[in-house]
Chain A
Amino acid sequence: MKTNDVILQTVAKIVVFIILTFSVFLFFAGHNNPGGGFIGGLVTAAALVLLALAFDLETIRKVVPVDFRKVMAVGLLIALLTGIGSLVLEVPFLSHTFGHWDLPLLGDTELATATLFDLGVYLAVVGVTMTIILSIGEDH
């Protein structure tokens, strides 16, 4: 008998966006509030896992058509490049800086290069979690 997941799938479609928004919020909150790249990445991965549970792994591949191993590598590369940037500028490795900018809509905003490092962490966490789950899920 074919089961009908229409409630699960409909709810998942809505909830996934709420979870993704929350993960982005966590990611940006990291500097002054609890949150950051690691937990943000895990929550994003949780949203994708919810999609995988409600639909199947093929849907994940269609919705997010990336190789998650590459995502992990890109994350590492971004984190590394923020460090290497300090080599180019001739300050100690991993030195970070910040500044205030007047952005449209957001007003006076503090932008820090540490966020870029966090972006690397975020991508690496998403990549690792999804690689683990997808490769275990594929095994039969």
Chain B
Amino acid sequence: MNNLLIMPLLVPLVTAVVLIFFNRQIRLQKWISGLSALANVGVAGYLVHVVRQEGIQTLNMGGWAAPYGIVFVADMFAALLVLTTTIVSAACLYYAFGSIGKEREKFYFYPFFQFLIVGVIGSFLTGDIFNLFVCFEVMLISSYALIVLGGTKKQLRESLKYILINIISSALFVASVAYLYAVVGTLNMAHLSVRVAEAGQGGVLTTISVLFLIVFGLKAGLFLYFWLPGSYKVPPAAITAVFGGLLTKVGLYAIIRTFTLIFYHDPYITHTLIGWLAAATMLLGVIGAIAYWDIHRILIYNIVAAVGFIAFGLAAANQAALEGAIYYLVHDMIVKALLFLLGGTIIAYTGTATIKEMGGLMRTRPVLGWMFFIAAMALVGVPPLSGFIGKLLIVEGGLQAGFYWITGIGLLTSLLILYSMMRIFMNVFWGVPKRPLSEPKKGTGWLLLPASCLVILTIVLGLGAEWIYPYVNQAGETLLNPDQYIQAVLKE
């Protein structure tokens, strides 16, 4: 009996339902959703604290014991991601207050936003694979609505593709779950792990695991990312930031969870496959990032490259690499949301998305410039900032596991990411303005406030690694030893 676990999900869910009643009172909507976002950060922080003190927390829904009912499980990995989600979503929400516009706000923007958070947090906390599917759908359906909200021509075109690809991958998800259920006869993740270990991961189960890899790869943009650049480009900045920060990471979480908890018996096939997919993703991601002159595209391809890098951490699957993957995942959620918020602000000031046509923004917007610089450095992984430790650990783990080539590709990727970010920085902030900049308007300055919170967080994540490492270490322990998870859930 531990209802704390449901709270990070319940707070946005209740908020979303209540907000439906007030779709015309925008000011009231802002107050309710703003307060609930802050409250949820507190709740998630408390959850992390409890997991740190007392170990893995479980909640049997409706009081039905583990394999028979739905279980919610918060190990440190899930708890950290929930906390990061609440922080990132709060920042994006506060950014949306100043930027999203009345038209969208009147048409249920805030309820959709909260439902999206419900889906993301539910995916992180659930301990049941079909419930994971349901939470994916909650998240995806809200994201369909958010991507198309506003109804411009581009949005309609891209949302069609996005919905099509996600419906196919969801159907594949259901099929994979059906195959898995047919073979092992359970849906609870801990119980699945036990059954798969008993049966031995033979050919059939490995095939099913590859099916899951394809499904989650489609969601996460691991190699199968062809749908991503188009659909992330069209919605407004606040929505892209929340997509870039959260959605692909849920797919990554699902990959890491299934391949550390359930299908870890035949790493020669599955993990090698993940390794090569990761290498290809990193390469293709950076090629995209250096190919474009459009600030949104560059950032979007950087998401792809980071997905590859984190998946590589899973492929190496030793202590250092998994801890690195966790650290990098948390860092990447924050820094990607931050970069999209800053990118949106830059576009709002310059009136164009093409970096060739910008220039000299440092003169009128020095704060924005330096924030972008710090975010870019953090993304690349320059030592005092948050990207460094994760990258270092993944590289260390990759070398230990003998993936020399892929580690090399990972390091090369960092260099090219640095190039792509510096190209943005130099083109946008240095030089002379190529077109008239909009005059600093009153009140637009505070759009930078949520972004500056995230900047401070990346600095704290980097400098305070000493304090944060024990949490990451605990999360890594659980991933390496599935027995802890199984015991916490099944209580044998």
Q: How many residues of B contact A (CB 8 A)?
A: 17
Closest to B72 in A: A93
Interface check A92, CB cutoff 8 A: yes
Q: Are A80 and B14 touching (Cβ within 8 A)?
A: yes
* A77 CA / B3 CA spacing, docked (Å): 19
Q: Are A95 and B20 touching (Cβ within 8 A)?
A: no
The interface bits of chain B over 1-35 (1 if a CB of A lies within 8 angstroms of the residue's CB, else 0) are 11100100010011001101101000000000000
Closest to A69 in B: B20
- The one of A70, A77, A83, A91 in contact with B63, judged by C-beta atoms closer than 8 angstroms, is A91
- The one of B1, B6, B13, B21 in contact with A91, judged by C-beta atoms closer than 8 angstroms, is B1
Interface check B60, CB cutoff 8 A: yes
B:35-72 near A, CB below 8 Å: 59-63
Could you count the A-B residue pairs with CB atoms below 8 Å apart for me: how many are there? Answer: 47
Q: Are A73 and B17 touching (Cβ within 8 A)?
A: yes
* A80 CA / B60 CA spacing, docked (Å): 17
Most chain A beta carbons < 10 A, residue from B2, B59, B63: B63
- The one of B18, B20, B23, B59 in contact with A72, judged by C-beta atoms closer than 8 angstroms, is B20
Q: Are A76 and B17 touching (Cβ within 8 A)?
A: yes
Most chain B beta carbons < 10 A, residue from A86, A87, A93: A93
* A86 CA / B14 CA spacing, docked (Å): 15
* A92 CA / B65 CA spacing, docked (Å): 11
The interface bits of chain B over 200-235 (1 if a CB of A lies within 8 angstroms of the residue's CB, else 0) are 000000000000000000000000000000000000
Name the B residues within 8 Å of A94 (CB-CB).
61-62
* A41 CA / B61 CA spacing, docked (Å): 25
CB distance from B16 to the nearest CB of A (A): 8
Name the A residues within 8 Å of B60 (CB-CB).
92
Q: Are B21 and A70 touching (Cβ within 8 A)?
A: yes
Interface check A58, CB cutoff 8 A: no
The interface bits of chain A over 82-103 (1 if a CB of B lies within 8 angstroms of the residue's CB, else 0) are 0110110011111110000000
Q: Are B62 and A87 touching (Cβ within 8 A)?
A: no
Q: Are B1 and A96 touching (Cβ within 8 A)?
A: no
Name the B residues within 8 Å of A76 (CB-CB).
17, 20
Q: Are A93 and B17 touching (Cβ within 8 A)?
A: no
* A87 CA / B18 CA spacing, docked (Å): 18
Name the A residues within 8 Å of B13 (CB-CB).
80
* A12 CA / B334 CA spacing, docked (Å): 58
Q: Are B20 and A90 touching (Cβ within 8 A)?
A: no
Name the A residues within 8 Å of B3 (CB-CB).
86-87, 90, 92-93
* A84 CA / B6 CA spacing, docked (Å): 10
CB distance from A43 to the nearest CB of B (A): 24
A:31-80 near B, CB below 8 Å: 69-70, 72-73, 76-77, 80
* A108 CA / B324 CA spacing, docked (Å): 62
Q: Are B17 and A95 touching (Cβ within 8 A)?
A: no
Q: Are B20 and A93 touching (Cβ within 8 A)?
A: no
Name the B residues within 8 Å of A83 (CB-CB).
6, 10
Name the B residues within 8 Å of A69 (CB-CB).
20, 23
* A87 CA / B2 CA spacing, docked (Å): 10
- The one of A70, A77, A90, A93 in contact with B6, judged by C-beta atoms closer than 8 angstroms, is A93
Q: Are B1 and A90 touching (Cβ within 8 A)?
A: yes
Q: Are B17 and A92 touching (Cβ within 8 A)?
A: no
CB distance from A112 to the nearest CB of B (A): 12
B:437-463 near A, CB below 8 Å: none
Q: Are B1 and A84 touching (Cβ within 8 A)?
A: no
Known interface pairs A80-B14, A84-B10; A93-B21 also in contact (CB < 8 Å)? no
* A92 CA / B20 CA spacing, docked (Å): 27
Q: Are B61 and A93 touching (Cβ within 8 A)?
A: yes
Q: Are A93 and B59 touching (Cβ within 8 A)?
A: yes
Name the B residues within 8 Å of A96 (CB-CB).
62
Name the B residues within 8 Å of A77 (CB-CB).
17-18
CB distance from B53 to the nearest CB of A (A): 20
Known interface pairs A70-B21, A73-B20; A92-B14 also in contact (CB < 8 Å)? no
6 additional contacts (CB under 8 A) given A84-B10, A87-B3: A70-B21, A80-B10, A91-B63, A93-B59, A93-B62, A96-B62
> Which residues of A approach B to under 8 Å, CB–CB?
69-70, 72-73, 76-77, 80, 83-84, 86-87, 90-96
- A sample of 23 cross-chain residue pairs with beta-carbon separation below 8 angstroms, ordered by A number, consists of A69-B20, A69-B23, A70-B20, A73-B17, A73-B21, A76-B17, A77-B17, A77-B18, A80-B10, A80-B14, A80-B17, A83-B10, A84-B10, A86-B3, A86-B62, A92-B2, A92-B3, A92-B62, A92-B63, A93-B6, A93-B10, A94-B61, A95-B62
